[in-house]
Amino acid sequence: MTPLRIACLSLFVVVVSLHGQTADSLLQEGDARFFHGQTAKALPCYLDAYRSEPHEPPTLIRLIRTYSDLGWLHLHTDSSAEGYYRNAACYADTLLLLKPDLAAAHFWAAMTKGSLIPFGGVREKLRLGKEVRLEAEKTIALDSTFALAYIILAIFERETAQLSWFERTIARVIFGEELHGSLEASEGLLAKAIHFDPLNSYAYYERYWTYIAEGRKGDAEESLKRVLAIPARSQREARQHDLAQNYLETLEKSVE
């Protein structure tokens, strides 16, 4: 058993700190805070619920989502992002150990591994990239309608399409294959994500980046407008709105 799995299994230690609340009430309180843009304040509720019932997938998923969002929110503001992402990855590994046949478990494994890519060297980035792709593919194999998994694969296609020759050489060694990502494939995967979840703002946000890579500014602009048309449901999505608005204003100025 790997050190990471041992560390994750150690999270099963139950600590009584519920202050008289049930796990369900703690989850409800955490959800109320999370969906009102209070990501950091939702975390203690989810942690207390986890201490009460550490084997419950809904609780683990909330912890993974919250730590992932906190990592993203802090990514360009301070040095805490990596710690949040590693916590998310640990809980994701626990979920996968408990529920290896659950599509969401493989999705969150892919998501959290992908979040750690910016913190590694070239070899580590590519190794994690391989695991991200495999876990996303497993997600779709278990649930072909899992929209977020298509988004991850779309990002993979877009990013590998833009690898340097040096990165491709290392990738060939690590993957045992040539990586030839395709912007067209990225666009197609995002179309599938939107088909299965038309109100998924992340799909439109990533489609913006794929269109930018293709030099299609008009289509990129329309994708940003679709992001802004979907109400934000969390602090991360509200921040995504802010970014989309800034990118949109920049695009509009570039064509004036």
Q: Is residue 127 part of a domain?
A: no
- Helix, strand, coil shares, percent, the chain, to 5: 75, 0, 25
> 143 — alpha (psi -120 to 50), left (phi > 0) or beta?
beta
Q: Is residue 14 part of a domain?
A: yes
CA-based nearest residue to 236, from 97, 36, 2:
36
pLDDT for the residue numbered 11:
44
CA-based nearest residue to 139, from 107, 99, 95, 92:
107
Mean pLDDT throughout 115-119?
Answer: 93
Cβ neighbours for 130, distance < 8 A, ≥ 6 positions apart = 174, 175
Assess contact for 188 and 222: CB atoms under 8 A.
Answer: no
pLDDT, tens digit, for every residue of 43-96? Answer: 999 999 999 999 999 999 999 999 999 999 999 889 999 999 999 999 999 999
pLDDT for the residue numbered 20:
58
pLDDT for the residue numbered 122:
76
Assess contact for 179 and 127: CB atoms under 8 A.
Answer: no
Q: How far is CA 112 from the centre of its chain?
A: 6
Average pLDDT taken over every residue of the chain: 89
- Look up the domain containing 4 and give its range: 1-99
Q: Is residue 246 part of a domain?
A: no
Kindly indicate the confidence band of residue 162, based on its pLDDT and cuts at 50, 70 and 90.
Answer: confident
Q: How does DSSP classify residue 171?
A: H
Q: Is residue 107 part of a domain?
A: no
CA-based nearest residue to 156, from 133, 124, 123:
133
Write down the residue that tokens 């994701």 correspond to. Answer: 92
CA-based nearest residue to 221, from 185, 256, 175:
256
> Token pair of 45, please?
């509720």
pLDDT for the residue numbered 198:
97
Mean pLDDT throughout 235-239?
Answer: 97
Q: Is residue 217 part of a domain?
A: no
CATH number of domain containing 66: 1.25.40
Q: Is residue 175 part of a domain?
A: no
> Token pair of 212, please?
């930018």
Mean pLDDT throughout 211-228?
Answer: 96
Q: Is residue 34 part of a domain?
A: yes
pLDDT for the residue numbered 21:
81
Q: How many domains does the chain have?
A: 1
Assess contact for 91 and 10: CB atoms under 8 A.
Answer: no
Q: Is residue 203 part of a domain?
A: no
What predicted TM-score, i.e. pTM, was given to this entire model?
0.87
Assess contact for 5 and 203: CB atoms under 8 A.
Answer: no
